[in-house]
């Protein structure tokens, strides 16, 4: 029995298969990342240097240099972006403030400098993982920090370098400062999302349009709508749906049954506001300076996001 030759797979079938494969993987550069403590341990604060050795509060900076395998591990921000939420394990109900700090070593001293400040929240203090929303810009390599009245969100375990403690708290604008002591692992973790348009909103959960810095909802791809255009002897009046910059060109119709327009030399501009607008015509484009004939005003309107529309208005000079 002769076997029939196999039919080639259609291009549509191949395309669908490829699409399924691509959808199975997230787009590069658009995945949220978690950094800071792994939050595997429960808080066990032990001594409380924020209270015992200083009036409090203090700044705790998440910085760990483990000395043995299996020690708690934390990490600085793996990339620049926006912190959209953070998590804490604490054994006490108290107000705490999320911070970011840069860390440098000077010999055995951990110097820290505050860079930005996030939201202040109040922990429930149950020892469970608590999550809070945030919107805080972060730069790759920065460390998480926390302003707190105590060290109830710390897991104490012998180690080399864990959480440097700064009292009084670090303040943005001040230079690097050495710690007043070192405590255990700061049980603080954050989720960072990319910020492609640099508007300070996380691309995955906070920004509905990551390609437009001025838009966090649905993308605005519509240009300004120009309507009710009236060309007078000395001015042009029009309405605009949104603020935008406008460029006007005057075109003259060439003789013929089907009008064909040729742009006159020169153009003029206007910064239009939403609603009614009036633009005085330059002298060379006023009716008494234009010869009798048919004309067209070509209006190009552009909004702040770069969206553009073109509107034309015919008029006649007698």
Q: What is the pLDDT of residue 29?
A: 45
Tokens of 47: 């001594």
- Asked whether the predicted pLDDT for residue 71 surpasses 80, the reply is no
Percent of the chain exceeding pLDDT 90 equals 56
pLDDT digits (tens, 9 = 90+) for 203-238: 999 998 888 887 888 888 889 999 999 999 999 999
Q: What is the pLDDT of residues 79-113, one digit of tens each?
A: 999 999 999 999 999 999 999 999 998 888 889 99
Q: What is the domain partition of the chain in residue ranges?
A: 30-193, 226-317
Lowest-pLDDT range of 9-23, 48-62, 200-214: 9-23
Please give the pLDDT value at position 89.
95
Average pLDDT, the chain: 85
| pTM exceeding the 0.85 threshold for the entire prediction | no
Per-residue pLDDT for 7 more than 50?
A: no
Strand 275-280, strand 268-272: pairing:
unpaired
Contact indicator for 203, 186 with CB cutoff of 8 Å:
no
The residue assigned the tokens 């595997």 is 40
More confident residue, 243 or 30: 243
| CATH architecture of the domain with residue range 226-317 | Sandwich (2.60)
**Residue 80, CB half-sphere, CA atoms under 13 Å: how many?**
7
């Amino acid at each position: 029995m002769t076997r029939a030759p196999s039919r080639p797979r259609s291009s549509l079938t191949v395309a669908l298969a490829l699409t399924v494969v691509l959808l199975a993987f997230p787009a590069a550069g658009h995945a949220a990342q978690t950094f800071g403590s792994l939050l595997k341990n429960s808080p066990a604060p032990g001594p409380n240097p924020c209270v015992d050795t200083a009036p409090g509060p203090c700044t705790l900076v998440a910085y760990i240099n483990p000395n043995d395998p299996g020690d708690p591990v934390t990490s600085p921000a793996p990339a620049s972006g926006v912190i959209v939420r953070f998590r804490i394990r604490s054994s006490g109900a108290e107000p705490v403030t999320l911070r970011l700090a840069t860390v440098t070593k000077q010999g055995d001293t951990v110097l820290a400098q505050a860079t930005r400040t996030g939201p202040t929240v109040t922990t429930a203090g149950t020892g469970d993982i608590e999550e809070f929303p945030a919107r805080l810009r972060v730069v790759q390599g920065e460390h998480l920090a926390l302003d707190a009245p105590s060290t109830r969100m710390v897991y104490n375990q012998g180690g080399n370098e864990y959480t440097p403690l700064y009292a009084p708290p670090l303040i943005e604008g001040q230079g690097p400062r050495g710690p007043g002591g070192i405590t255990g692992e700061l049980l603080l973790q954050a989720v960072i999302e990319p910020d492609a348009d640099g508007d300070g909103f996380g691309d995955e959960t906070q920004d509905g349009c990551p390609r437009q810095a001025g838009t966090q909802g649905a993308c605005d791809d519509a240009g300004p709508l120009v309507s009710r255009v009236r060309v007078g002897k000395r001015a042009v009046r029009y309405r605009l749906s949104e603020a935008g910059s406008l460029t006007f060109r005057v075109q003259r119709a060439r003789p013929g049954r089907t009008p064909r327009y040729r742009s006159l030399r020169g153009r003029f501009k206007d910064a239009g506001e939403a609603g009614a607008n009036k633009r005085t015509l330059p002298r060379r484009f006023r009716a008494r300076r234009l010869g009798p004939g048919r004309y067209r005003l070509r209006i190009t309107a552009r909004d702040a996001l770069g969206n553009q529309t073109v509107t034309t208005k015919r008029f006649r000079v007698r």
